[in-house]
Structure 1
Amino acid sequence: METRAHYVMVGSFVIAVLSALIVFVLWMAKIDFGDKSELYNIYFEGSVTGLRVNEDVRYHGVPIGTVKQIKVDKKNINRVRVRVAIKDPILIRENTSASIEAQGLTGYTYIQIQGGTEDSPILKSRKGEHYPVIPSQPSRIEMLFNNAPMILANLSQLSENLNHLLNQENRTHVKGILENIHKVSGNLAEGHSSLEVTIQEFQNTLRDIRNLITQNQSGVESFTSTGLAEFISLTRETREMINSIKQIADSLNYSAGDFLHRSPQKGYKIE
């Protein structure tokens, strides 16, 4: 009788240990017998480096599933098939898309589900498919690298246009224009007795500006086409300033005496 009781105790202990071991294994495997998750396939054309099985699947940042399988597609070896389990299939609509995203600098990657509207039908598997297929799109980092060559090409074109506009010949023209404007403003401020010289200098300035604009018409158009509309605005304001100065000069040429001596009280004294 004592031996039988001993066997019962040993058997109970073994059963308890095995039960605990089974529960532990199921807990580690995260198996939920009440889980109603549905499986989906996602095909990625680019690299899936960093993505691992059991990583999160998130919907706008909220975990809604896990990655179950990562394999090269046998039907198209240039793409990777990622199978995911989604706990709430109602969130996956026909206009939903998936991408691989990274969290900070830790290297942790996950599947990001985005898009999807309530008026769009729930995604179902099509004829010939075992599981519904969620369309994929490049991640933000991948799109950045894909657009890098175009960005560099635009910067190179912009630099070339700037070099064309700021060549030595144009800098010489601009320097001459500034010198002529300085002379004109100096003559007006000092009340120079000979306005003919001032008007002649101003006409030279206008001629230089016309030549500069004519010679660089194509360069200006190419430069502004890159998005620098500020240059056009600056040119327009410069023309308006020059027209205003020309009107002042014409007025001075028409009646220099009236400008300098409007009345005995209000006239300018010339020493």
Structure 2
Amino acid sequence: METRASHFVVGIFVLLSAIGLAGFGAWLAKTKTDQAYDLYDVSFRGSVNGLQEGSSVLYRGVPVGRVSHIAIDRDNITRVLATIEVQAGTPIKEDTSAQLAIQGITGIASIELLGGSNDSADVEPGEDGRPPKLEAAPSAIEKFVQSTPELLANTSAMVDRISVLLSDENIQAFTTILEDLAKTSATLAENRGEFTALLEEVASASTNASDAAAAAKALMPDIQAALAAITQRSGAIGDTAETTLAEFGETSKAVKNLAWRMDRIFGELERPLDDFGQTGMYDFSEMVREMRQLVASLSRITTEFERDPAGFLIGGNQRGFVPE
């Protein structure tokens, strides 16, 4: 009797649980049915591998809907159209774009809505009452796949350069460099004392240079004063030189004019001198002879005058007055 009673209780509990689950399912279905959605078509250029009906739709990381249908675009078979249901009132703008995103490491794909600004207008419905269309931007995986050929080419070029760099000749040259460095290190180790002395001399020279620099700094006022005096004298010398050059220029002009005049005079005297050389030379010689005679007579008269001026003036031996 007790066994039958326990079975009855279990049956009642199972029946009530089933009715409760059915009621909860009906309520949940009614809630989803009553909730309003806006439909949008997302156009993909590449593959949508991993995307399926029921996949999540996120807007800036916030779940706003799901994928309701996926099919090849009949107008352009190179594209894939994914119809999404987005909660009514979600601000989908004309500058809003979509992107295929992979969630975690499971490979499950979702659609991520990106962009959209407050100043942009709401997206317009499509033709013939079709849902508005959103263009999908290339996903990170698509960008990586598109850049793979260039990446492979760059990798191949890098491998070729590394091969050239690690050629036998370069390795031998690098080995030679290492051997030379080892020899240089050994030489420096052997001549450490001389190197230390050289460093001390360099330090001493630096000290002397510092002292010389200090002395030169101390002499700078005198040097500046001397330079100022030289500058002043240079200015005076420059003025004097300028004046001298001006006077020299005037003198040069005067000499040039004198030479021009002498040349003209000589040109005018050229013919008379020729006539004089031909006809007047004899008369000139006679004149010279007579002038010599005249000079001799004058010399004699002068001598007599100096010797006896009175006799020269009165003449003869005149006697003075003799009183009686």
Compute the TM-score of the two structures, normalised by the length of structure 1: 0.56
Counterpart of 2:118, as a letter, is E
- Which runs of no fewer than 5 residues in structure 1 stay unpaired? 1-16, 194-251, 263-271
2:176 and 2:103 map into 1 onto residues whose CA distance is: 57
Q: Against the structure 1 CA distance between its residues 177 and 26, is the aligned structure 2 distance closer, same or farther, given a 3 Å change threshold?
A: closer
Is the partner of 1:135 in helix, strand or coil?
Answer: strand
Is the partner of 2:52 in helix, strand or coil?
Answer: coil
1:25 CA drift (Å) = 9.2
Counterpart of 2:198, as a letter, is F
Residue aligning to 2:84: 84
Residues 111-153 of structure 1: CA deviation (Å, up to 9, x unaligned):
1112222233322236677322111022223333333333222
Counterpart of 2:110, as a letter, is Y
Residue 78 of structure 2 is aligned to residue 49 of structure 1: no
Contact 1:64 1:88 in 2 (8 A): no
1:88 CA drift (Å) = 4.3
Q: Percent identity over the alignment?
A: 35
Is the partner of 1:91 in helix, strand or coil?
Answer: coil
Counterpart of 1:66, as a letter, is R
Q: Against the structure 1 CA distance between its residues 29 and 154, is the aligned structure 2 distance closer, same or farther, given a 3 Å change threshold?
A: farther
Residue aligning to 1:131: 131
Residue aligning to 1:152: 152
1:63 and 1:189 map into 2 onto residues whose CA distance is: 73
Residue aligning to 1:237: none
2:165 and 2:50 map into 1 onto residues whose CA distance is: 47
Aligned match of 1:30 in 19, 29, 32?
32
1:192 CA drift (Å) = 8.6
Aligned length: 180
Compute the TM-score of the two structures, normalised by the length of structure 2: 0.47
Aligned runs of 1:85-234 on 2, under 5 Å?
A: 85-125=85-125, 130-191=130-191
Aligned match of 2:198 in 254, 259, 266?
259
1:161 CA drift (Å) = 0.8
Residues 193-232 of structure 1: CA deviation (Å, up to 9, x unaligned):
9xxxxxxxxxxxxxxxxxxxxxxxxxxxxxxxxxxxxxxx
**Superposition RMSD in Å:** 3.5
2:67 and 2:132 map into 1 onto residues whose CA distance is: 15
Counterpart of 1:120, as a letter, is S
Range 107-116 or range 140-149, more displaced: 140-149
Is the partner of 2:48 in helix, strand or coil?
Answer: coil
Is the partner of 2:162 in helix, strand or coil?
Answer: helix
Q: Against the structure 1 CA distance between its residues 129 and 165, is the aligned structure 2 distance closer, same or farther, given a 3 Å change threshold?
A: farther
Considering fraction of residues, name the structure with more helix.
2
Counterpart of 1:143, as a letter, is K
Q: Against the structure 1 CA distance between its residues 261 and 54, is the aligned structure 2 distance closer, same or farther, given a 3 Å change threshold?
A: closer
- Which runs of no fewer than 5 residues in structure 2 stay unpaired? 1-18, 202-324
1:75 CA drift (Å) = 0.8
Residues 56-97 of structure 1: CA deviation (Å, up to 9, x unaligned):
211122111222222211111121111112214542122221
Contact 1:42 1:81 in 2 (8 A): yes
1:260 and 1:111 map into 2 onto residues whose CA distance is: 72
Q: Against the structure 1 CA distance between its residues 25 and 78, is the aligned structure 2 distance closer, same or farther, given a 3 Å change threshold?
A: farther
Contact 1:51 1:110 in 2 (8 A): yes
1:45 and 1:179 map into 2 onto residues whose CA distance is: 60
Is the partner of 1:94 in helix, strand or coil?
Answer: coil
Residues 127-184 of structure 1: CA deviation (Å, up to 9, x unaligned):
6773221110222233333333332222221111111122111111122122222222
2:50 and 2:87 map into 1 onto residues whose CA distance is: 23
Instruction: Give the structure, 1 or 2, with the largest relative contact order (CA under 8 Å, sep 6 or more).
Output: 1
Q: Against the structure 1 CA distance between its residues 261 and 85, is the aligned structure 2 distance closer, same or farther, given a 3 Å change threshold?
A: closer
Counterpart of 1:185, as a letter, is S
Aligned runs of 1:14-25 on 2, under 5 Å?
A: 24=26
Counterpart of 1:78, as a letter, is T
Q: Against the structure 1 CA distance between its residues 29 and 70, is the aligned structure 2 distance closer, same or farther, given a 3 Å change threshold?
A: farther
Range 74-83 or range 116-125, more displaced: 116-125
1:98 CA drift (Å) = 0.9
1:30 and 1:152 map into 2 onto residues whose CA distance is: 49
Counterpart of 1:54, as a letter, is G
Residue aligning to 1:69: 69
Counterpart of 2:143, as a letter, is M
Contact 2:64 2:90 in 1 (8 A): no
Contact 2:52 2:67 in 1 (8 A): yes
